[in-house]
Amino acid sequence: MPGSAKGYAILDNPSLNISTAFTRQQREQLGLRGLLPHKVCGMQAQEQRALENIRRKGYDIERYIFLVALMERNEKLFYHTVLNNIEELMPLIYTPTVGQACKEFAHIFRKPQGFYITPDDRGSIREILDNWPEDEVRVIVVTDGERILGLGDLGANGMGIPIGKLSLYCACAGIHPRQCLPVMLDVGTNNQELLDDPLYLGYPHKRIQGDDYLSLVEEFVLAVQDKFPKALLQFEDFLTPNAYRLLNLYRDRVLSFNDDIQGTAAVALAGVYASTRLTGIDFKDLRVMFLGAGSAATGIGDLLVVALQAAGLDEAVARKRLWFNDIGGLVVASRDNLMSHNLPYAHDHPPSSFIEAIKTIKPHVLIGATGAPGTFTQEVIEAMSAINQRPTIFALSNPTSRAECTAEQAYTWSNGRVIFSSGSPFDAVELEGRRFKPGQGNNAYIFPGIGLGAIACEASVITDEMFLSAAHALAGKVSEQDLHSGSLYPPLSDIRSVSKTIAVEVAKQAFAQNVAQIQRPDDLEGYIQSLMYQPVYAA
């Protein structure tokens, strides 16, 4: 047991506390006699007790609160329990439950976690970073709360997202909890309901914008580089214009990426790769259509272009394989209301409605990233089924309530022919004697492995080729059994193995592109394995 902490100081420290698992000898040495019940319980019994408590709760938000409290008092038990039961617990610690937790964040607030920066901290960000108790931070997830999942502007309540993402970094890729820092850039909120809520904990003003906003972000980034020079910076849930602006500002300057743009792209690309094993269509021959033209959808498109070029297509030809629809219909060259990130995909074609576009362009793959539930209607699924023997449908919007369609709808309306994936989990579907278990295209398959690989080799930047390598690695982990059951992704129970495989491929790519800043280890996989936090009690 490190340090000189004793008694309640140990029990109050989540990284030291193992509660009833302290042995008789440890209790004597550490001043714990009388502070714990008599029986010494191992981790297995503690896990069983935790699961019983979780399962007796009546609502998912209560289960979320319990799990956060467990993480705050015994982090080894928390991560051990999550890893052993990840299919049950990941929907509680992240999507979809984290959406509700963010909406209610100020009302369920118990104990501070993470770091908050407001406009009042301008000029002092580097100084106040010294208040954070850890010096070896390697992964930072930061949001400004303006576009939380598909829920919109939740202001400082969005802190639930960095906390949840970093818990997945620890559970899925073994990043040590002490190396993680959740950050809220609390620049205000335009959500009047929050501003009127007496329990709201955020900066009680309208959002700062323009140069005031960008200069605060710049000060934060520079402060992070000075305080934590080896840290990876992950931007999360920024509104599309700011998401692209910040990605373009920092992608070549700082070890950073935007998970909504690049992480979503890699997990979707992996699913598309896997789908071709079922359809028999060569990847480079695919036509892909998107409903939604924001940061997530365009990010997928941009990585698909890179992948299609790697498959042998010219860039212009690759872009013409991808078609986007937004609230104004098909994105075409004749429209004059397009954002800059949409322009490369504005092709020469008559203006069309979404359904008309499906019927004339005949896409093999349909990807939804709208945040608008129910937009993949029966007519849409039937139109895709009419032109494809095995239509591929990705309903990626989170949380579950925002999905473009449900798994049951997709299978039913396609008579069981659809290849389906979603951003949030859906239960298995029974249809005409067949059982379909759709895989969840969750970014947790990608970002933990990207982060682990990048920090393992001390990469200076994260390149598109790293995300391409990650997508190939993830697709390669999909078994024939997974595909037969209807899943384009491996089981979540394999997530640590998946993350390690991705990390190795990402690091290999970093060395190949000369952006790694350490000498390549002889045994790269063994080296990365040695860095992974294991949530077990010391013997």
Average pLDDT over residues 400-423: 95
DSSP 332: B
What distance in Å separates the CA atoms of residue 328 and residue 131, rounded to the nearest whole number? 48
Look at the chain and report how many structural domains it folds into.
Answer: 3
Domain assignment of residue 58, yes or no: no
For 274-291, the DSSP string reads HHHHHH---GGG--EEEE
Q: Tell me, yes or no, whether 101 lies in a domain.
A: no
- Provide, rounded to the nearest whole percent, the portion of the chain with pLDDT above 90: 94
Give the CATH number of the domain where residue 246 resides: 3.40.50.10380
Give the whole-angstrom CA distance, residue 94 versus residue 99. Answer: 8
245 and 270 in a single domain? The answer is no
SS3 state of residue 179: helix
Please tell me whether residues 380 and 502 are part of one structural domain: yes
Contact present, 455 and 230 (Cβ < 8 Å) = yes
- Are residue 388 and residue 329 in the same domain, yes or no? yes
In a domain, 124, yes or no: yes
Q: Give counts: helices (H), strands (E), the chain.
A: 24, 14
Whether residue 491 sits in one domain with residue 384: yes
Residues 325, 424, single domain; the answer is yes
pLDDT recorded at residue 3: 60
Q: What are phi and psi of 429, to 5 degrees?
A: -120, 130
The secondary structure of residue 234, as a DSSP letter, is: E
Q: Would you say residue 81 lies in a domain?
A: no
Q: CA dist 388 to 263, 286, 456, Å?
A: 28, 12, 43
pLDDT of residue 287 exceeding 70, the answer is yes
Owner of token pair 């949840």: 164
Is 470 inside a domain boundary? yes
Residues 401 and 316 in one domain: yes
- Asked if 283 and 222 sit in the same domain, the reply is no
Whole-Å CA distances, 272 to 208, 421, 445, 451, 495: 39, 10, 14, 22, 19
| First-residue to last-residue Cα distance in the chain | 11
Torsion, Cα 470 244 160 112, to 10 degrees, reads 110
Tokens read off for 267: 């997990």
Residue 11 belongs to domain with CATH number: 1.20.1370.30
Mean pLDDT of 334-349: 92
Please indicate, yes or no, if residue 55 is contained in any of the structural domains: no
Convert the pLDDT of each residue in 223-243 to its tens digit.
Answer: 999 999 999 999 999 998 999
Residues 300, 193 within the same domain: no
* pLDDT at 1 > cutoff 80: no
Check residue 80 and give its pLDDT: 98
Yes or no: say if 118 and 156 are a contact pair by the CB < 8 Å rule: no
pLDDT, average across residues 361-390: 96
Of the candidates 254, 284, 305, which is a domain's last residue? 254
Q: Which of 148, 176, 56, 149 is nearest to 399 (CA)?
A: 149
Q: pLDDT band at 538, cuts 50/70/90? A: confident
- The verdict on 268 and 309 lying in the same domain is yes
Using omega within 30 degrees of 0 as the cis cutoff, is the peptide bond preceding 96 cis?
yes
* Host H or E run for residue 256: strand 256-258
Domain match, 376 and 522 both: yes
Tokens 């033209």 found at: 293
- Of the ranges 92-96, 256-260, 501-505, which one carries the lowest mean pLDDT score? 92-96
Q: Confirm if 366 and 392 have CB atoms less than 8 A apart.
A: yes
Give yes or no for residue 269 having a pLDDT over 60: yes
> CA-to-CA distance for 268 and 276, rounded, in angstroms?
13
Instruction: Let me know if 199 is exposed, middle or buried by CB neighbors in 10 A (0-12, 13-18, 19+).
Output: exposed
Residues catalogued as catalytic: 94, 165
In angstroms, the CA 452 to CA 444 distance is: 12
Parallel, antiparallel or unpaired: strands 139-143 and 232-235: parallel
- The Cα–Cα gap between 351 and 353 comes to 7
Cα separation, 14 vs 5, in Å, equals 13
Same domain, 339 and 306: yes
Inside any domain, residue 100: no
CATH number of the domain to which 491 belongs: 3.40.50.720
Find the domain containing 19 and state its range: 1-41
Is 272 found in the same domain as 241?
no
321 within some domain: yes
Helix (H, G, I), strand (E, B) or coil at 435: strand
Instruction: Judge whether residue 312 has pLDDT over 70.
Output: yes
Distance CA 226, CA 128 (A): 12
